[in-house]
């Protein structure tokens, strides 16, 4: 119970800091940028209130704190161009972590109840929940196989498949629950495994964060003048935030998260000509391009999943390749 107390304290402190900063984020005020710049490291530091041996609780708190970082930075962008003032109540509701990862203010503020049949939502929630219920005992059984325990490549392939089922199932549950409660949202994950290129994968994967990057990076003058630099900046921000989250959770910095996201840059840049080539070619070339994208994500994800293994030491059944 003591550990749960520290977790709740860390989360409450992060939300209190973000809420208290609201009156200082105003259009035309130079101190707004200073406020947000000072707030971001404070938010990321809040999970440090949790004892360092509680790695999983720190990871969850770091995830919630990072969501707040996305929200306050987007709110700064929004108010600088807002035509009417934002009330304290609207800002507080924007910070509330539901719908999950809806971090663009204009998107959440436009969410409105709508009339629709609710039983299809409940059916899909039940199906996705059943997939989750089966995932863990099946994964535990497969992890006991000698091939998986002795071969990291096989182990990683199994965990990659499990991760896909996990995030897609959770995505459908979040989406259908949100729609059931009256929010006009889209699934956070949109069948990433169907991606034809690496760039398409990142458009499908956590599209709510992708929307944040669209409004805060790719719509600005930087993207128009130097689109490649905008891509680098987007993955640098992603790598930095993931590195910070895992560092806070595990009390160590290894650079693996930054490496993973930096490796995506050349693959995303190469996706543009590859997508055009696929459109002009037949099934064979398209399949090869899709296979190359899958292989790239499967290989580079070793860096990402190493951080997951440090949060959950039981993640890999074999000995990881990375130190």
Query: What is the Cα–Cα distance from 104 to 230, expressed in whole angstroms?
Result: 19
Same domain, yes or no, for 200 and 306? yes
Integer angstrom CA distances of residue 61 from 20, 64, 73, 258: 19, 5, 19, 20
242 contacts 219 by C-beta, under 8 angstroms? no
322 contacts 302 by C-beta, under 8 angstroms? yes
Q: How many domains does the chain have?
A: 2
Same domain, yes or no, for 70 and 152? no
The verdict on residue 163 lying in a domain is yes
Write out pLDDT tens, residues 103-118: 999 887 666 555 566 7
Same domain, yes or no, for 172 and 73? no
CA-based torsion, 294, 298, 303, 306: positive or negative? positive
Q: Is a pLDDT exceeding 60 seen at residue 153? A: yes
Same domain, yes or no, for 73 and 134? no
Range scoring the smallest mean pLDDT among 26-30, 98-102, 112-116, 306-310: 112-116
Q: Is a pLDDT exceeding 90 seen at residue 221? A: no
Same domain, yes or no, for 86 and 232? no
Same domain, yes or no, for 57 and 150? no
Same domain, yes or no, for 168 and 272? yes
Return the SS3 of 160: helix
pTM for the model: 0.93
Query: What is the Cα–Cα distance from 85 to 75, expressed in whole angstroms?
Result: 12
């Amino acid at each position: 119970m003591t550990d749960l107390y520290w977790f709740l304290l860390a989360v409450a402190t992060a939300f209190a800091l973000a809420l208290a900063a609201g009156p200082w984020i105003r259009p035309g005020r130079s101190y707004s940028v200073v406020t947000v710049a000072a707030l971001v490291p404070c938010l990321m530091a809040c999970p440090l209130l949790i004892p360092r041996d509680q790695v999983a609780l720190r990871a969850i708190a770091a995830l919630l704190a990072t969501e707040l970082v996305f929200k306050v930075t987007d709110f700064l962008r929004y108010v600088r161009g807002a035509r009417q003032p934002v009330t304290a109540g609207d800002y507080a509701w924007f910070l509330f972590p539901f719908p999950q990862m809806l971090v663009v203010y204009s998107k959440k503020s436009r969410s409105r109840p709508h009339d629709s049949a609710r039983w299809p939502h409940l059916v899909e929630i039940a199906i996705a929940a059943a997939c989750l219920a089966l995932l863990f005992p099946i994964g535990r059984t497969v992890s006991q196989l000698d091939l998986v325990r002795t071969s990291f490549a096989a182990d990683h392939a199994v965990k990659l498949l499990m991760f896909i089922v996990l995030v897609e199932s959770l995505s459908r549950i979040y989406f259908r629950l949100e729609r059931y409660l009256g929010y006009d949202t889209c699934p956070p994950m949109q069948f990433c495994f169907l991606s034809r290129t690496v760039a398409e994968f990142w458009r499908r994967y956590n599209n709510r964060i992708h929307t944040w990057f669209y409004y805060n990076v790719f719509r600005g003058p930087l993207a128009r003048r130097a689109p490649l630099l905008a891509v680098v900046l987007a993955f640098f921000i992603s790598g930095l935030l993931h590195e910070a989250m895992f560092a806070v959770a595990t009390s160590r910095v290894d650079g693996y998260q930054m490496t993973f996201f930096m490796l995506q840059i050349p693959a995303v840049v190469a996706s543009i000509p590859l997508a055009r080539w696929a459109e002009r070619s037949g099934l064979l070339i398209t399949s090869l391009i899709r296979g190359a994208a899958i292989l790239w994500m499967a290989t580079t994800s070793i860096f990402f999943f190493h951080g997951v293994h440090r949060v959950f030491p039981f993640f890999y059944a074999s000995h990881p390749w990375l130190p």
